[in-house]
Structure 1
């Protein structure tokens, strides 16, 4: 994105054909100057030809050179272009009769200076070019009306304002495109993170229950095995619904439902569970993030820990999942699940701490800063104490 005051690269975002059509139409204003230079009685034929060619070259350099300089963004090319256009403009002004007002044609070189040079350099250079033209005409004995000076000043001011707006619009357009790209990236990351959470837990639970059903069938306990298979079917349907909701951004995790599902998954895996009986103490704005912590923690306990017991602790500001399994080395880099939890907790002003315990086992802890009481409540309590 260009910085404020930087040169504009293709400010109108036109195709070359559209630019040439517009600039050629504007250059038709130079036709009276070309005719005046060709028919002037003040000079001989060679001089009239030279002045006429200067007017034509001035228009051509404007049409093709300015657009090219916008695309290139080369400072050396820009300076050379402005110098050439200034010289051609002064020659074209010298070639017309004294009674022909030609100073207003400075608008072309003013456009080049203001559009291609950063602010405030562009307006300053444009003003100096106009002043040089006025001085040149006066030194060569020509006459200048006050209206011409006012017109040239107005041209510089108008071009400065117009290209200033173009710069702002260009920056806003670039910012909007960048934000759109960031939004797409953020949505992809959200879908990937949510699918990891949904499928990781659901497939782990399905695998554990399918294994339990197989063992029950091997022991001849067909009735209990059928119950587990029914649960596998239910979990499969729930996982499919969760995937659809995740893609459409309609899924909201429930802390109570996650605790109930986690208790059932641990039971199927043969792990003793110690869970809180209620979630009412957890503020509503934290329950969804805490639900994802429980989901990720229980999934890791079942898949990696080899634990015999798992404990989940809830407070208004923390959630903790602790097991007595083998844990993992402290140097193990965080996986996608922990990275996703870190992002979720950061969004509500919290953080995640995970690692092995000194006496064995593993702990996953998420914590949020205590919520401050409303200002009015704090004032009332302070007055009551006083």
Structure 2
């Protein structure tokens, strides 16, 4: 029943969902036959009204329970008790008319109680009804005891409890899936913002440094200034292409390519660069991560270090960037920038370890070990 209704459009469930509760009212035909056999017209009319009212209350409450679970808004316990109280009163009226046959309606009360009430309250109500259906026929001489009612109540209650657990687990699973989807969206946004920050941070830093250099050369060496300005245009176009590729999910960072970019950025900033000739020693699984590390670390060296020398060391499982600049603050406050914080998240996601520390020469060391 749950699988079938889950595929229905919301409007159809709202319009026809009551039918999935009403179909079970077929078993009320037994007390209805007894009522129709009553000699008094008034008694027959009263009994029919009671059965119809009972069916309406049961169907409406079941429908509200189902739709509430679909929307994550369970039926309030107080409203469930009101409906159950009305059904108990109608069952008493039926039993007064047709005797123990009217107790058949208690099964519907037990099922609905299991679905709509907290477990302890539901089982308490069922236990009370079991006692009533067992003792009342023995206390009223004109009634015929029927031990099968108590068995029906217990079996039906257990089945309803199981179905309710399935409803609840399905709802929890749907909520968990939605939460996972939301977390995936958040994680993707964070990744995207981190990538754009790292790409633009590096590119704009190099553009700024080259702009300052071109400004200084414009009068003393116009030809060299023209070369720098031409490179600025190339860098700006490349930055735009990088951002577009990142947004499109096609951006591929490689430590080999970043070595060339690092050389350009450090030279433009007047920093002596001691870089490996190539990155062939780095295995494929680390090349992207080490590329991001090199890009962010060199950007920080150019921006903040006031260094004169920067050395990059590559091994198969690690990368180290060391400068002789001012270094991080003693309290570690310099380590909290967005770039290094994003770099730490990236390294952790890749299963590596990140070290950011002052070196003996007073400079700054960024070191990452791959998994």
TM range, normalised to the smaller chain?
0.7 to 0.9
CA contact (8 A) 1:115 1:122 kept: no
How far does residue 157 in structure 1 lie from its aligned partner after superposition?
Answer: 4.3
CA contact (8 A) 1:312 1:319 kept: yes
C-alpha distance 168-72 of structure 1, shift in aligned 2 (>3 A):
closer
The answer for the alignment partner of 1:204 in structure 2 is 205
The farther-off stretch of 271-280 and 87-96 is: 87-96
Match 2:342 to one of 340, 344, 347: 340
After TM superposition, list the pairs within 5 Å mapping 1:1-12 onto structure 2.
none
261-270 or 139-148, larger mean C-alpha shift? 139-148
Question: Secondary structure at 2:225's aligned position in 1?
Answer: helix
Q: Which residue of 2 aligns with 1:180?
A: 181
Q: Secondary structure at the match of 1:95?
A: helix
What residue in structure 2 maps to residue 360 of structure 1? 362
Structure 1 Cα separation of the partners of residues 102 and 88 of structure 2 = 14
Uncovered stretches (5+) of structure 2, i.e. residues with no partner: 1-7
Instruction: Give the aligned partner of residue 324 of structure 2.
Output: 324
- Shift of residue 163 of structure 1? 2.0
Which segments of 5 or more consecutive residues in structure 1 lack a partner in the other structure?
1-11, 370-386
Q: TM-score, normalised by structure 2?
A: 0.80
RMSD of the alignment, in Å? 3.6
Q: How many residues align?
A: 353
| Cα pair 1:94 1:137 within 8 Å, conserved | no
For 1:294, the equivalent position in structure 2 comes to 294
Residue matched to 2:164: 163
Matched residue, 1:138? 137
- Alpha-carbon distance in 2 for matches of 1:280, 1:103: 84
Instruction: Provide the C-alpha distance between the structure 1 equivalents of 2:195 and 2:168, rounded to a whole number of angstroms.
Output: 40
Partner Cα separation in structure 2 for residue 349 and residue 362 of structure 1: 23
| 295-304 vs 149-158, greater mean Cα deviation | 149-158
Shift of 1:262: 0.5
Q: Which has the higher contact order (CA 8 A, sep 6+)?
A: 1
Contact 1:54 1:91 in 2 (8 A): no
The residue aligned with 2:3 is none
Separation in 2, partners of 1:34, 1:92: 13
Secondary structure of the 1:251 match is: coil
Deviates more, 1:54-63 or 1:157-166: 54-63
1:253 touches 1:292 (CA, 8 Å); kept in 2? Answer: yes
Per-residue CA deviation, residues 144-193 of structure 1 (Å, 9 max, x unaligned), is 66776665555334423322221221111111111111111111111111
Cα separation, 2, equivalents of 1:14 and 1:105:
31
What is the DSSP-based 3-state SS (H/G/I as helix, E as strand, rest coil) of the residue aligned with 2:369? strand
C-alpha displacement of 1:339: 1.4
Match of 2:4 in 1: none
What is the aligned partner in structure 2 of residue 6 from structure 1?
none
**Contact 1:354–1:365, Cα closer than 8 Å, also in 2:** yes
Q: Contact 1:273/1:309 (CA < 8 Å) preserved in 2?
A: yes
Q: Conserved in 1, the CA contact under 8 Å of 2:307 and 2:326?
A: yes
* Corresponding residue of 1:8: none
Q: Which residue of 2 aligns with 1:232?
A: 232
Give the corresponding residue for 2:127: 128
The structure-2 alpha-carbon separation of the partners of 1:136 and 1:56, relative to structure 1 and needing over 3 Å to count, comes to farther
The question of whether the paired residues in 2 share the 8 Å contact of 1:137 and 1:143 is answered with no
* Structural mapping, 1:87-126, within 5 Å: 87-88=88-89, 90-98=91-99, 101-118=101-118, 121=120, 124-125=123-124
